[in-house]
């Protein structure tokens, strides 16, 4: 059996809903996790008591095709979500999922026939419309790929779906999905980046910055464009040096034209997230910085500090040749204006249309 990456070696139990026990994904996971105990759950049966890391292969009854859960108070990028599961094995201290979900069970929606039927209706059924979607909103797109192969299934679907551009956002390196791709222009492998100190101290079990950027370069060499995300940008002593270092590092591996788009977002979250971090990560001092309550009820870094960081990042990235690819995640028009000198309303078609154009490469 192929050795699992470190962040998956802690899986000690697998639960599976009886309705999906014969699904192809279940059989695939069974081959890769045959060494751990499995429990088949009857319909509506209460979940057993968990001990250790649990992977739950679930018959999901909700919507697979969703809008990004942005708020009206700030500028959202119009992202669509292909909802494939919940929770993440990587355990980053700042992860906003910790304030969304009540447990750390790794959930994967195993009824893929229902997912693809929904995509048939919503995407293939609207061939004159174009969509930019991703799987990295409620889980890491690739952290479970070594056992589920989920992303490979999705990229194979996109081979017959020219109006869908799929982003796979991650902090790990797993390029096994590439073998299923026939439309490289419709797949955007994406990596979250952060300052070296933050990666070292706050991102437990992720791959190194060098490994992520090397993987991005391998994707470019295979005909893909990539996306990069600095979200969350964290305010800490020495942040200018740290973020400046990683921005410069990007261009040791990639050219500006290799990057479809790059997002910038400040650390934020529901109020209970700060208490969770303080309790479970007592060495994480960034939670004691200057935060205010935003219009969406989330805490946010004091606006002048956010603007200072965004201006620094944008200036450094622009020096390397990135301009139109840069955007802010969930910020107000006032912040956009202070950072870029314009707002999404000044873009032709708005931010959503602008990013759709970049995703499909229509301006090349």
**Phi and psi at residue 325, to the nearest 5°:** -80, -10
Q: How far apart are CA 67 and CA 13, in angstroms?
A: 32
Q: How far apart are CA 328 and CA 333, in angstroms?
A: 10
Q: How far apart are CA 217 and CA 220, in angstroms?
A: 5
Q: What is the pTM of this model?
A: 0.96
Assess if residue 223 is contained within a domain. Answer: yes
The predicted pLDDT at position 75 comes to 87
Query: How much is the average pLDDT of 266-281?
Result: 93
The predicted pLDDT at position 2 comes to 65
Beta carbons of 259 and 191 less than 8 angstroms apart? no
User: Taking all residues of the chain, what is their mean pLDDT, rounded to a whole number?
Assistant: 95
Neighbours of 204 (CB within 10 A): 12
Please, which pLDDT band fits residue 314 given cuts at 50, 70 and 90? very high
Whether the pLDDT of residue 1 is over 60: the answer is no
Assess if residue 20 is contained within a domain. Answer: yes
CATH number at residue 129: 3.80.30.30
Q: How far apart are CA 140 and CA 96, in angstroms?
A: 12
Whether the pLDDT of residue 363 is over 90: the answer is no
Whether the pLDDT of residue 18 is over 70: the answer is yes
Burial of 303: CB neighbours in 10 Å, binned 0-12, 13-18, 19+: middle
The predicted pLDDT at position 364 comes to 55
DSSP for 218-277, please give it.
Answer: HHHHTT--EEEEEEEE---TTHHHHHHHHHHHHHHH--GGGEEEEEEEE-EE-HHHHHHH
DSSP summary character for residue 287: G
The predicted pLDDT at position 102 comes to 77
Assess if residue 347 is contained within a domain. Answer: yes
**Phi and psi at residue 234, to the nearest 5°:** -110, 140
Q: To the nearest 10°, the Cα dihedral for 174, 356, 364, 323?
A: -80
Q: How far apart are CA 262 and CA 253, in angstroms?
A: 15
Assess if residue 151 is contained within a domain. Answer: yes
The pLDDT tens digits for 181-222 are: 999 999 999 999 999 999 999 999 999 999 999 999 999 999
Query: How much is the average pLDDT of 309-322?
Result: 98
The predicted pLDDT at position 45 comes to 87
Q: How far apart are CA 8 and CA 27, in angstroms?
A: 18
Q: How far apart are CA 174 and CA 172, in angstroms?
A: 6
Percent of the chain scored above 70 by pLDDT? Answer: 99
The predicted pLDDT at position 211 comes to 98
The predicted pLDDT at position 76 comes to 85
**Residue 134: closest CA among 71, 186, 59, 204:** 186
How many domains does the chain contain in total? 1
**Residue 94: closest CA among 211, 215, 235:** 235
Whether the pLDDT of residue 168 is over 90: the answer is yes
User: Contacts by 234-240 with C-beta closer than 8 Å and gap 24+?
Assistant: 234/94, 234/194, 234/195, 234/198, 234/202, 234/267, 234/286, 235/267, 235/286, 235/289, 235/290, 235/301, 235/305, 235/309, 236/195, 236/197, 236/198, 236/285, 236/286, 236/289, 238/197, 239/195, 239/309, 240/312
Percent of the chain scored above 90 by pLDDT? Answer: 90
Beta carbons of 175 and 152 less than 8 angstroms apart? no
Assess if residue 1 is contained within a domain. Answer: no
Beta carbons of 242 and 196 less than 8 angstroms apart? yes
Q: How far apart are CA 237 and CA 128, in angstroms?
A: 49
**Residue 232: cis peptide before it, omega within 30 degrees of 0:** yes
| C-alpha neighbours within 13 Å on the C-beta side of residue 74 | 23
The encoded tokens of residue 340 equal 């870029």
Query: How much is the average pLDDT of 224-235?
Result: 98
The encoded tokens of residue 135 equal 């799987």
Please, which pLDDT band fits residue 92 given cuts at 50, 70 and 90? very high
The pLDDT tens digits for 19-37 are: 999 999 999 999 999 999 9
**Residue 192: closest CA among 90, 280, 79, 278:** 90
Find the domain containing 285 and state its range: 6-360
Whether the pLDDT of residue 51 is over 80: the answer is no
Under the phi-then-psi rule, with left for phi > 0, alpha for psi from -120 to 50, and beta for the rest, what region is 271?
alpha
């Amino acid at each position: 059996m192929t050795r699992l990456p470190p962040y998956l070696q802690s899986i000690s139990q697998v639960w599976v809903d009886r309705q999906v026990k014969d699904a192809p994904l279940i059989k695939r996971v069974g081959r890769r996790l045959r060494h751990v105990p499995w429990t088949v759950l009857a319909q509506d049966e209460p979940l057993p008591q968990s001990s250790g890391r649990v992977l739950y292969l679930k018959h999901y009854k909700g919507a697979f095709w969703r809008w990004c859960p942005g708020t009206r108070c700030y500028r959202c990028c119009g992202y669509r979500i292909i909802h494939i599961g919940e929770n993440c094995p990587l355990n980053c201290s700042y992860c906003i999922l910790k304030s969304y979900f009540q447990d750390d069970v790794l959930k994967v929606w195993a009824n893929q026939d229902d997912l693809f039927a929904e995509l048939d209706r919503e995407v293939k059924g609207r061939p004159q419309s174009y969509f930019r979607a991703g799987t990295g909103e409620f889980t890491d797109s690739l952290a479970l790929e070594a056992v589920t192969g989920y992303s490979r299934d999705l990229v194979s679907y996109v081979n017959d779906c020219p109006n869908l551009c799929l982003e796979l956002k991650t902090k790990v390196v797993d390029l096994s999905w590439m073998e299923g791709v026939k439309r490289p222009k419709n797949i955007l492998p994406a990596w979250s980046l952060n300052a070296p100190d933050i990666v070292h101290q706050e991102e437990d079990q992720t791959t190194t910055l060098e490994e992520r950027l090397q993987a991005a370069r391998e994707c470019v060499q295979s005909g893909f464009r990539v996306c990069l995300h600095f979200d969350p940008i964290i305010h800490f002593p020495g942040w200018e040096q740290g973020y400046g270092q990683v921005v410069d590092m990007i261009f040791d591996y990639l050219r500006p034209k290799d990057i479809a788009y790059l997002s910038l977002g400040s650390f934020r979250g529901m109020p209970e997230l700060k208490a969770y971090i303080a309790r479970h990560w007592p060495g994480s001092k960034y939670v004691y910085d200057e935060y205010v309550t935003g219009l969406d009820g989330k805490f946010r870094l004091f606006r002048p500090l956010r603007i200072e960081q965004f201006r620094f990042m944008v200036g450094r990235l622009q020096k390397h040749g990135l301009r139109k690819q840069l955007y802010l995640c969930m910020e107000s028009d006032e912040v956009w204006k202070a950072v870029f000198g314009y707002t999404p309303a000044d873009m032709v078609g708005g931010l959503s249309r602008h990013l759709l154009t970049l995703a499909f490469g229509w301006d090349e």
